[in-house]
């Protein structure tokens, strides 16, 4: 047993060496995904996907990356070791946001114009269920305990709370105007809704969802938010200010604004490197920010119109 | 350009508050003008006077509503476009504005014009960048005239003809 554990530890560390940590950035304009080695800050692969890729979700368990091609009406499935597309799932609609359940068994997809959420079994892509959630669903996220799916219904100004076992709608939480990105704290206790038209973030206490959300003003046309590893900071992309708002979560105040590339959209936090990674749609690149100093330490050229809507950092 | 504007005016597409499309489009154009940045910026920031240099625009009506500034562009081919000034930043020499309503075949359009010094001494570079969506707001098939191509072509036409004439007007005014 002891030997087995040692062997296992060895093979795990070996596999960690063989497969450096990668970021997957969707490029809407040239229908590709840029794969970036996060330690080297270099694009190692450029993968052709469907038309106008937007959303991204990664699974270390399955070694898969899922990409929504909104104008191509499909989802590309990438093998994260081979860095190639191994499957394309047809979606009769306009898939935008997507998220995996924590156990990677279910893939949830937001279909923009049809107001529906698709639940796709990752072991059988033909097994799809759906629910009509709210107008223009965009970002979505699954609770840490796998039981609840939260969907930003953009044109309903709501976060729709869905029971993952039945796909029944349990609650509708009113947030700011036009919520787009939605994310969870690491603890799973707080939900953040980024509201594009009124330049706010709504903080929802998941232990008491009947309480009205706490609202914080950020920059112009914010899109997405993500916390750091220890839930002390929340970072928000302000698409029309070309900046990131840094919110101190204990005091719920904006404490810094960091200039990045033009029209920043998706962002993810790299826990190992303590860095914030931001995809800039307007300048076709990624800004890497040191989370200790709040300074941009690197700018990496990607493809045309980088969006990376979702958690794009392979853990 | 002229023909395009007529078609658009006929189609009389209007904006509404419903969802825009899922894929934003971008047009980015630049021109180098042989004039000092301060001189070029004075022309660019003059929100109520775009007809002085844009060849497709017949007249501009400037309006103040409280703190906010709007303009109505009357196009030479007919039709109007109603725009809101977001910011005119003298330090960055950057003008930000958005389309509120009108005949342009775009949705959720916002743009900026920025003046920078160079590349040569006594020269300025004007950058004009727009972000917008097609007008069609349903799943494919997308009808002609409401697609991304139409929206991009329209904005490209506006920027190309505008910047070329901005250069001409400023360089000839010495």
All residues of chain B having their beta carbon less than 8 Å from the beta carbon of residue A279 are none
Instruction: Find the angle CA(A20)-CA(A21)-CA(A27) to the nearest 5 degrees.
Output: 120
pLDDT at residue B16, rounded to an integer: 36
Asked whether A223 and A196 are in contact (CB, 8 A), the reply is yes
Residue A150 has pLDDT above 70, yes or no: yes
Burial of A116 (0-12, 13-18, 19+ CB in 10 A): middle
Burial of B138 (0-12, 13-18, 19+ CB in 10 A): middle
A113 vs B129: CB contact, 8 Å cut-off? no
DSSP string across A14-59? HHHHHS--EEEEEETTTTEEEEEETTTTEEEEEEE-SSSEEEEEEE
pLDDT at residue B130, rounded to an integer: 97
Which strand ranges, in their side-by-side order, compose the sheet holding B80-89? B25-33, B124-133, B107-117, B94-102, B80-89, B68-75, B57-65
Nearest one of B158, B166, B129, B174 to B31, comparing CA atoms: B166
What ipTM describes this predicted complex? 0.85
Distance CA A149, CA A154 (A): 16
pLDDT at residue B13, rounded to an integer: 39
B19 vs A282: CB contact, 8 Å cut-off? no
pLDDT at residue A4, rounded to an integer: 53
Mean pLDDT on A176-188: 97
pLDDT by residue (tens digit) across A38-77? Answer: 999 999 999 999 999 999 999 999 999 999 999 999 999 9
Nearest one of A170, A132, A178, A186 to A152, comparing CA atoms: A178
Mean pLDDT on A195-217: 97
* Rg of the Cα atoms in chain B: 16
Alpha carbon separation from A268 to A30, A194, A235, A255, A309 (Å, rounded): 22, 15, 9, 19, 9
A2: confidence class by pLDDT, cuts 50, 70, 90? low
Distance CA B63, CA B52 (A): 17
Nearest one of A275, A247, A242 to A259, comparing CA atoms: A242
- Alpha-carbon torsion angle B52, B57, B58, B63, nearest 10: -80
Q: Is B24 touching A (CB cutoff 8 A)?
A: yes
pLDDT at residue A108, rounded to an integer: 98
A135 vs B131: CB contact, 8 Å cut-off? no
Nearest one of A243, A277, A264 to A307, comparing CA atoms: A264
Domain ranges of chain B: 2-172
- Nearest-CA distance A30 → chain B (Å): 12
Residue A71 has its nearest CB partner, among B23, B110, B131, at: B23
Instruction: Provide the token pair at B114.
Output: 């920025």
CATH of span B2-172:
3.30.530.20
Instruction: Provide the token pair at A60.
Output: 């270390």
Percent of chain A with pLDDT over 90: 90
Return the residue matching tokens 């509708």. A172
Mean pLDDT on A198-225: 97
pLDDT at residue B21, rounded to an integer: 77
Residue B19 has its nearest CB partner, among A73, A155, A305, at: A155
A13: confidence class by pLDDT, cuts 50, 70, 90? very low
pLDDT at residue A40, rounded to an integer: 97
B23 vs A240: CB contact, 8 Å cut-off? no
Q: In chain A, what are the domains? A: 20-301 (2.130.10.10)
Residue B110 has its nearest CB partner, among A28, A240, A281, at: A240
pLDDT by position in tens, chain B (length 174): 445 554 444 443 333 334 577 899 999 999 999 999 999 999 999 999 999 999 999 999 999 999 999 999 999 999 999 999 999 999 999 999 999 999 999 999 999 999 999 999 999 999 999 999 999 988 888 899 999 999 999 999 999 999 999 999 999 986
Distance CA B104, CA A152 (A): 30
Distance CA A286, CA A130 (A): 34
Distance CA A305, CA A293 (A): 27
pLDDT by residue (tens digit) across A241-298? Answer: 999 999 999 999 999 999 999 999 999 999 999 999 999 999 999 999 999 999 999 9
Residue A225 has pLDDT above 90, yes or no: yes
pTM above 0.80, yes or no: yes
Mean pLDDT on A203-211: 96
Distance CA A249, CA B38 (A): 43
Return the residue matching tokens 């009357």. B74
């Amino acid at each position: 047993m002891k030997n087995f554990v040692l062997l296992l530890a060895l093979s795990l560390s070996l596999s960690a060496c063989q497969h450096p940590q990668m970021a997957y950035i969707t490029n809407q304009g040239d229908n590709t995904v840029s794969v970036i080695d996060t330690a080297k800050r270099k694009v190692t692969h450029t993968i052709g996907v469907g038309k106008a890729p937007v959303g991204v979700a990664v699974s270390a368990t399955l070694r898969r990356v899922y990409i929504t091609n909104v104008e191509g009406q499909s989802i590309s499935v990438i093998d994260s070791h081979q860095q190639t597309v191994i499957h394309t799932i047809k979606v009769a609609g306009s898939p935008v946001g997507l998220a995996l359940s924590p156990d990677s068994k279910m893939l949830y997809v937001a279909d923009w114009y049809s107001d529906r959420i698709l639940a796709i079994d990752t072991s059988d892509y033909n097994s799809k269920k759906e629910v009509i959630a709210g107008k223009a669903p965009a970002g979505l996220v699954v609770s840490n305990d796998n039981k609840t799916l939260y969907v930003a219904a953009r044109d309903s100004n709501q976060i729709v709370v869905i029971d993952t076992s039945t796909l029944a709608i349990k609650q509708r939480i009113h947030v700011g105007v036009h919520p787009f990105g939605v994310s969870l704290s690491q603890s799973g206790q707080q939900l953040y809704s980024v509201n594009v038209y009124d330049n706010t973030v709504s903080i929802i206490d998941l232990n008491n969802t009947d309480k009205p959300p706490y609202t914080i003003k950020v920059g112009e046309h914010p899109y997405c938010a993500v916390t750091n590893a220890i839930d002390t900071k929340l970072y928000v992309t302000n698409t029309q200010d070309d900046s990131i708002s840094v919110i101190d979560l204990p005091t719920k105040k904006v404490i810094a604004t960091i200039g990045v590339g033009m029209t920043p959209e998706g962002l993810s936090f790299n826990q190992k490197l303590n860095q914030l990674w931001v995809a800039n749609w307007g300048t076709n690149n990624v800004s890497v920010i040191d989370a200790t100093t709040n300074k941009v330490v690197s700018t990496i050229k990607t493809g045309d119109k980088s969006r990376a809507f979702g958690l794009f950092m392979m853990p | 350009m002229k023909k395009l504007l007529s078609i658009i005016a006929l189609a009389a597409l209007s904006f509404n508050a419903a969802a825009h499309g899922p894929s934003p489009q971008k047009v980015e154009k630049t021109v180098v003008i042989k004039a000092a940045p301060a001189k070029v910026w004075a022309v660019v920031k003059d929100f109520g006077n775009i007809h002085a240099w844009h060849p497709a625009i017949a007249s501009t009506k400037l309006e103040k509503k409280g703190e906010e500034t709007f303009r109505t562009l009357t196009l030479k081919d007919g039709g109007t476009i109603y725009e809101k000034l977001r910011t005119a930043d003298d330090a960055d020499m950057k003008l930000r504005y958005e389309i509120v309503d009108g005949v342009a075949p775009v949705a959720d359009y916002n743009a900026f014009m920025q003046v920078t010094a160079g590349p040569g001494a006594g020269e300025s570079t004007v950058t004009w960048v727009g972000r917008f969506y097609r007008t069609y707001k349903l799943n494919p098939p997308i009808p002609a005239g409401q697609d991304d191509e139409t929206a991009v072509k329209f904005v490209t036409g506006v920027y190309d003809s505008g910047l070329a004439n901005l250069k001409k007007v400023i360089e000839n005014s010495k």
